[in-house]
């Protein structure tokens, strides 16, 4: 008998909002944490981890990253993942080929970084005077910054740490070549990682995510479709209300262990609970949109609307900011008003207190 939509909803929440643990264990369990530089009121990676790491404070990931077996890299999006998972994607061959002159620049920069151990982009720019270029957003960037980005993507460099949010690079050891017979196993492991991060997934969402994986492993892009077909045979699948849903084979959606708790949670737009907008609408019956890059007059929810989860329902959203050292929360509800429930009032107050402590603000 297939699960109900209510069971899928509880499973989606409870499997990812697990009991808070240590930072490394939380990232191991999540598999991947998407990064985003916007602070409203904190970066996405910190807002994701605060629900899953005991006593987490904004910036803890950046502070502790150099001592943990983690890497920053592109997976289905850019973010943080365990080193063992990152290794599955390398050696990576970018789709856009570099000219011999560009490779000559890259080798010279790599030697410069190797000699110094860890290098800030401004040191590279000062030493090589690469000049300016146009970035993806149409603005002007140091050409050395784009070169370093390309070297990082190709696995020539790794992010050793961040200084004030800026990536500081070190040399990454060359990854050994991958035998042809190993490619399928690596892609299977990467797709299992996607499913483990975002399950349960509508079939259309899994196809979309595997398409994004093609940017993480462009050298195996043509092999992603056969890997998706293998995954469909490997995963649990059920049709619920006319939609095919997939989840890890080892997990049982109907288990009584999947129970949402009584907390209120304000979630980043990049949280695994929220990330798949198709799934979001199927589970909660309304459309959520991330509008940070939408012109202000056209926004409906706000610059950085954070979905508001209460028990097993996303009942609204909040726009949070810090003014004069104090947390400001503008909350909105799908029903037009908050639940008339004293338990909700207490849980919301507790969530805002947790957010205040997470941001290091006065209560």
* 35-77 tens-digit pLDDT: 999 999 999 999 999 999 999 999 999 999 999 999 999 999 9
> Strands across the sheet with 326-333, in order?
264-266, 306-310, 313-323, 326-333
- The domain defined by 100-171 folds into Arc Repressor Mutant, subunit A (1.10.10)
3 state SS of 131: coil
Distance of CA 346 to the CA centre of its chain: 30
Q: Compute CA 228 distance to the chain's CA centroid, rounded to the nearest angstrom.
A: 21
Q: Residue 156 and residue 109: Cα distance in Å, rounded?
A: 10
Three-class SS of 160-175:
EEEECCEEEEEECCCC
Q: Please give the pLDDT value at position 287.
A: 96
Q: How far apart are CA 152 and CA 304, in angstroms?
A: 29
Residue extents of the structural domains in the chain: 100-171, 264-358
Instruction: Name the region of 4 (left: φ>0; alpha: ψ -120 to 50; beta: rest).
Output: beta
Residues paired with residue 174 on neighbouring β-strands, in sequence order: none
CA quadruple 88, 29, 274, 50: dihedral positive or negative? negative
Phi, psi for 172 (deg, rounded to 5): -100, 135
The beta-strand segments (E) located in 177-216 are 201-202
Report residue 186 as tokens. 């690596």
Residue 77's CB: how many other CB atoms inside 10 A? 15
Q: Which residues of the chain are modeled with pLDDT < 50?
A: 137
How high is the pLDDT of residue 174? 95
- Read off the tokens for 31: 């598999």
Distance CA 318, CA 13 (A): 19
Give this prediction's pTM. Answer: 0.94
Q: Say what the pLDDT of residue 137 is.
A: 47
The dihedral formed by the CA atoms of 273, 279, 281 and 284, expressed in degrees to the nearest 10:
-50
**SS3 assignment, position 83:** helix
CA distance 283 to 292: 23
């Amino acid at each position: 008998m297939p699960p109900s939509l209510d069971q899928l909803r509880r499973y989606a929440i409870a499997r990812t909002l697990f009991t808070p643990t240590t930072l490394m264990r939380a990232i191991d369990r999540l598999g991947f944490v998407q990064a985003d530089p916007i602070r409203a009121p904190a970066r996405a990676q910190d807002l994701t981890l605060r629900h899953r790491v005991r006593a987490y404070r904004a910036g803890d990931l950046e502070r502790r990253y150099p001592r943990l077996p983690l890497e920053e890299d592109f997976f289905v999006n850019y973010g943080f993942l365990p080193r063992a998972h990152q290794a599955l994607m390398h050696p990576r061959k970018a789709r856009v080929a570099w000219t011999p002159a560009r490779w000559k620049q890259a080798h010279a920069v790599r030697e410069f970084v190797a000699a110094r151990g860890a290098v800030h982009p401004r040191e590279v720019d000062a030493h090589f005077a690469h000049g300016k270029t146009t970035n993806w957003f149409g603005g002007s960037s140091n050409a050395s910054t784009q070169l370093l980005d390309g070297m990082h993507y190709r696995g020539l460099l790794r992010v050793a740490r961040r200084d004030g949010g800026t990536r500081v690079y070190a040399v990454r050891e060359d990854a050994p070549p991958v035998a042809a017979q190993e490619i399928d196993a690596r892609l299977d492991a990467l797709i299992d990682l996607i499913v483990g991060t975002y399950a349960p997934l509508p079939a259309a969402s899994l196809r979309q995510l595997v398409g994004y994986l093609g940017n993480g492993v462009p050298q195996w892009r043509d092999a992603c479709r056969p890997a998706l077909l293998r995954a469909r045979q490997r995963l649990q699948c059920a049709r619920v209300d006319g939609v095919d849903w997939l989840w890890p084979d080892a997990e049982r959606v109907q288990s009584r262990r999947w129970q949402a708790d009584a907390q209120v949670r304000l979630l980043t737009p990049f949280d695994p609970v929220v990330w798949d907008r198709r799934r979001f609408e199927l589970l909660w019956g309304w459309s959520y949109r991330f509008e940070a890059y939408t012109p202000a007059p056209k926004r409906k929810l706000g610059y950085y609307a954070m979905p508001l989860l209460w028990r097993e329902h996303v009942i609204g959203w909040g726009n949070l900011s810090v003014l004069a050292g104090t947390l400001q929360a503008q909350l909105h509800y799908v029903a037009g008003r908050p639940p008339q429930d004293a338990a909700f009032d207490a849980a919301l107050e507790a969530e805002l207190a947790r957010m205040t402590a997470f941001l290091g603000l006065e209560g």
